[in-house]
Structure 1
Amino acid sequence: MATTNIWQQFKVLIAEGGRIFATITANNGNGTSQATLWDGSIITVKGGESVCVGEKVFIQKVEIKSVVPSLSQYEVEV
């Protein structure tokens, strides 16, 4: 049965958890890869065998969701 609660309908449109931007640093050979986050932290992610070392990716729930282009990054303090 479909819900008529507008908030519940809206929550379905939003992906749970945030996306994390990272750089792939190593392929582990078992379907996982090592990824380095912008703060220098290293995590292991699923689905990384098809992504080459050095490529930038979006990660959600410890799984690579998409490859993103390498663009210049700037940090500005306000």
Structure 2
Amino acid sequence: MSNIYKRLLGILPNDPRDKGEVVAVNPDGVTVELVTGARVRVRGAAQVGDHVFIRGRQIEGPAPALSGVDQTV
């Protein structure tokens, strides 16, 4: 019988998916500012101001331009 934990890891994606806004276009891809404020350079094509999903330093596709809301009670 195989290890169930290893089987679970085998079906999960290796890299998490992040969302961010394109802040610069470079010759080899784009720079994306994540929701956390971190900036990463990724492969793919997009325009400045576009919101994109990224995984593994590559653009997966467009993302909705939603902003977070802090609600204090």
Give the TM interval when normalised to the shorter protein: 0.7 to 0.9
Q: Does 2:52 match 1:54? A: no
Root-mean-square deviation over aligned CA pairs: 2.3
Change (3 A) 1:9 1:24: same
Taking every aligned residue pair, what percent have the same amino acid on both sides?
26
- Counterpart residue identity of residue 35, structure 1: V
Q: Which runs of 5+ in 1 are unaligned?
A: none
Q: Deviations over 1:19-60 (max 9, x none)?
A: 111110111123x1011112222111111x2x1111111111
**What's the TM-score, normalizing by structure 2?**
0.73
User: How many pairs were matched up?
Assistant: 73
4+ runs deviating over 6 angstroms: none
Could you tell me how far 1:69 is from its partner in structure 2? 1.5
Counting only pairs closer than 5 Å after superposition, residues 1-78 of structure 1 correspond to structure 2 as 7-30=5-28, 32-47=29-44, 49=45, 51-76=46-71
